[in-house]
Amino acid sequence: MTPARRTSPELRMVAVCAGSLFVLGMVMTFSASFVSSTAETGDPFGIVTRHALWCALAVPAGYAASRVQPRTWRRMALPLLAFALLAALLVLVPNLGVSANGSRRWFDIGPVTFQPSEVVKLGVALWSAHILARAWPRLRAGDVRSLLVPVAPMLFAAVVLVAASPDLETAFIVAVAGGVPLFLAGLPLRLVAGGALLGGLGMWSEIVGREYRQARIEAWFDPLAYYDTIGYQTSQGFFALASGGWFGVGLGQGRGKWLYVPNAHTDFIFAIIGEELGLVGGLTVIALFTALGVAGVRITRRAADPFGRLLAGAITGWIMVQAFTNVGSVVGLLPVTGVTLPLVSFGGSSLFVTAVAIGMLAGVARSLAPPGDGEDGPPRQLRLVGSEEMAG
């Protein structure tokens, strides 16, 4: 993130945290991928090069998103959502979508793959915020019907569509991205509880209905007992983390990425961070996300208009929950999931969409500060922090 003209502490925090995570992601993606990249393509830089290309697209896109007027986003909300849902529907068609690990989640477009469910998250967040902000006066008047229609049915449809791929974890995050605006717009707690219950039941039936999910849950409690099969990934994650100890085995020195930890540069990059940079590195990542979250919550609270508020809340909720889910599944707090660590993991669609979302959050943050305050703010300081992070 380049320094903004009008900066607030929140904006700076978002920029610093996101920037640090980006840089860390670049470094760790290379460290975690050079073995598997060599094994697959013969080129140790193959994967990190693609990651860097996506970063080169994502960072300007995020910056642009932070500069665009909110009304431009609002105009784009419906087309984006429509596009995302159509793509999410088409990806289910067997000959169009690419499947891996039992799920059909990707489009293969030339050199890159594209995952519609990532765009659904942004589409849902943006569109829900837009619709609810438009209905704001009625909502203030306690119009529950305006609150629920059309956001709730649309959200339900989006969640079901993503869950059908099947990708329950991302569906959950989509639900968060749409649910947070609903909650902020005054959804009664009993309805939130009801929705959660309904969602829980839906998930339960999904879990019971799909054998591979059930097995994942069992392996969650005792990964070593399922070492040869579904406990393998968690076990290898634990091995890597435990090998790291307090301060890690050193950047590039880890053993886990030597084809032991599956998805080392994507879903399980946190295990590699823990192994090479130790508990210190792992806690730093958690701290960065927490700081991002705190900044996001403060932006949400202090947003100048309902749209900004709802959007900031949706994006913050989504990124926090996704980060928590990812790290939680690596350290065994949750069963193994297929979600990436936002901004850090390799994964083009995720990286790009997350960067745009962070940019929007920054855009909302920019509108917090009164005009004139912090003009010609301290870019020096930002650069300093940025370079420190890079040195670390």
Point out which residues bind another protein (CB under 8 A): 35, 39, 224, 228, 235, 238-246, 252-253, 255-256, 258-260, 274, 278-279, 282-283, 286, 289-290, 293-294, 297, 320, 324, 327-328, 331-333
User: Are 44 and 38 in contact, with CB atoms under 8 Å apart?
Assistant: yes
Q: Which is nearer to another protein, 151 or 321 (CB)?
A: 321
Shortest spacing between CB 251 and another protein, in angstroms = 11
Read out DSSP for 10-48? HHHHHHHHHHHHHHHHHHHHHHHHHHHHHHHHS-TTHHH
Shortest spacing between CB 252 and another protein, in angstroms = 7
Shortest spacing between CB 219 and another protein, in angstroms = 15
Q: Strands, DSSP E only, in the chain?
A: 97-100, 103-109, 112-114
Q: Assign 3-state DSSP to the chain and report helix, strand, coil percentages, each to 5.
A: 70, 5, 25
The two three-digit tokens of residue 59, written as one number: 């960072």
User: Are 356 and 65 in contact, with CB atoms under 8 Å apart?
Assistant: yes
Question: What residues does 114 pair with on adjacent strands?
Answer: 107
User: Are 68 and 356 in contact, with CB atoms under 8 Å apart?
Assistant: no
The two three-digit tokens of residue 236, written as one number: 């290898």
Shortest spacing between CB 225 and another protein, in angstroms = 13
Question: Pick from 192, 150, 149, 199: which is nearest to 174 by CA?
Answer: 199
Q: Which is nearer to another protein, 31 or 115 (CB)?
A: 31
Q: Which is nearer to another protein, 201 or 283 (CB)?
A: 283
Q: Which is nearer to another protein, 301 or 383 (CB)?
A: 301
Q: Which is nearer to another protein, 3 or 293 (CB)?
A: 293
Q: Which is nearer to another protein, 97 or 317 (CB)?
A: 317
Shortest spacing between CB 377 and another protein, in angstroms = 26
Most distant CA pair in the chain, distance? 63
The two three-digit tokens of residue 349, written as one number: 């669609």
Question: Pick from 20, 19, 24, 18: which is nearest to 273 by CA?
Answer: 24
SS3 state at 70? helix
Cα distance between residue 284 and residue 288, in whole Å:
6
Shortest spacing between CB 309 and another protein, in angstroms = 13
Shortest spacing between CB 319 and another protein, in angstroms = 11
Q: Which is nearer to another protein, 222 or 375 (CB)?
A: 222
